[in-house]
Amino acid sequence: MKALWTVEATICVAAFCATALALMADVLAREFFGNGIFGAQRFAVWGNAISGLLGFALVTAERGHLRPQFADKLLPKALEPHADRIGEVLSAVICLGMAWYAVKFVQSSAALGERGMAIPILVWPIQLVLVWMFLSSALRHLAFARWPELRPVPRSEVPS
């Protein structure tokens, strides 16, 4: 789990740094040469999307997502000791369902040969991050359900 987090965090930081560098280079080119860098803004949008989507998986790893606490009262008393595991399994099922839809979305983009507008490259390889984030999050939720000791304490529950 730590290795997965390290890989995702590294890619996330690299994508965000690439975004910042592309935008800075574009602004500097506009200031010094009167024209921006062709495609820099679109590249920055893609880099930001990649870092944001990977952020979903990283927040899952840290148990940082908002939790609907009102649902705690919906379980019968007999299931309360298992509420966390039930929540993890339910979250995994939701993520797997979303991954399935993401696969269909990416397949559709690939079949249509969709390309970016400013930089005419195929967009489906970039869209694969959607599939990854949901599968990675589902894997984590299943691991947390099976081995609760792997679950980090949510930041909302850490004393200040």
Higher-scoring residue by pLDDT: 20, 75: 20
Q: Does some domain include residue 154?
A: no
pLDDT confidence of residue 76:
78
Q: Is residue 157 scored above 70 in pLDDT?
A: no
pLDDT at 59: 92
130 within some domain: yes
Q: Does residue 61 fall inside a structural domain?
A: yes
d(CA 110, CA 105): 9
Is 62 contained in some domain? yes
Please state the domain count of the chain. 1
Asked if the model's pLDDT at residue 159 lies above 80, the reply is no
Whether 27 maps to a domain, the answer reads yes
Give the angle subtended at the CA of 17 by the CAs of 35 and 63, to the nearest 5°: 140
Between 109 and 152, name the one with better pLDDT: 109
pLDDT one-digit tens code per residue, 41-77: 999 999 999 999 999 999 999 888 777 777 777 777 7
Banded model confidence at residue 156, pLDDT cuts 50, 70, 90: low
Residue 84 is encoded by which pair of tokens? 């966390």
Return left, alpha or beta for 63; rule: phi > 0 is left, psi -120 to 50 is alpha, else beta: left
Which tokens go with 42? 């679109």
How confident is the model at residue 73, as a pLDDT?
76
Residue 115 lies in a domain: yes
For residue 79, being part of any structural domain is answered with yes
45 is in which domain, residue-wise?
A: 2-149
Q: Judge whether 160 lies within some domain.
A: no
